[in-house]
Amino acid sequence: MTPDHLFSIASAAVLPGWLALACAPLGRAKAVLAARVIAVLLAGLYVTLLATGLAGEGPPAGASFNSLEGVRLLLASPQALLAGWVHYLVFDLWVGSWEAEDNSLPHWLLLPCLALTFLAGPTGLLLYHLLKAGRMRRS
């Protein structure tokens, strides 16, 4: 299976988890569980991509976590870039499930947090914490 094909599969695979979280008031615990199962399955794909990528020719010379250029080189191959994408998908979905698991925000306030977490992970997490802090301050 090509990296492009796996990219399409992984990108589509997270959508049911996000839809479950968006519909969480209908069964919050089940929605969180569904999202987390999908995240764990995609984590398995991530580990597989890492293992098969490391078994190949290895990272290019100069690849490292010590500089922006080193990270760019780490992600230079399609398989490494795909692993990085799956990493984002897994963590964003897990963070979204964590946000949905907390009942301190009404669902209508949670929805923009989930949307932003899906589209721009840390932005959604920041909004979630700001809204939660604002509600705690008012009570």
Which pLDDT tens digit goes with each residue over 121-135?
A: 999 999 999 999 998
Both tokens of residue 130? 């700001």
Confidence of residue 85 (pLDDT cuts 50, 70, 90): very high
Query: What integer pLDDT is reported at residue 55 of this predicted model?
Result: 67
CA 114 – CA 95 distance, rounded (Å)? 9
Using CA atoms, how far residue 85 sits from 3, 75, 95, 99, in Å, is 11, 10, 15, 21
Query: What integer pLDDT is reported at residue 54 of this predicted model?
Result: 65
124 near 115, Cβ under 8 Å?
A: yes
Q: pLDDT tens, 8-52?
A: 999 999 999 999 999 978 788 999 999 999 999 999 999 999 888
Share of the chain above pLDDT 70, in %: 97
CA 34 – CA 25 distance, rounded (Å)? 14
Query: What integer pLDDT is reported at residue 95 of this predicted model?
Result: 98
Using CA atoms, how far residue 50 sits from 18, 47, 70, 81, 95, in Å, is 25, 5, 17, 10, 22
Query: What integer pLDDT is reported at residue 22 of this predicted model?
Result: 94
Higher pLDDT, 56 or 50: 50
pLDDT > 70? residue 78: yes
Average pLDDT score, the chain: 92
CA 132 – CA 101 distance, rounded (Å)? 13
55-67 average pLDDT score: 83
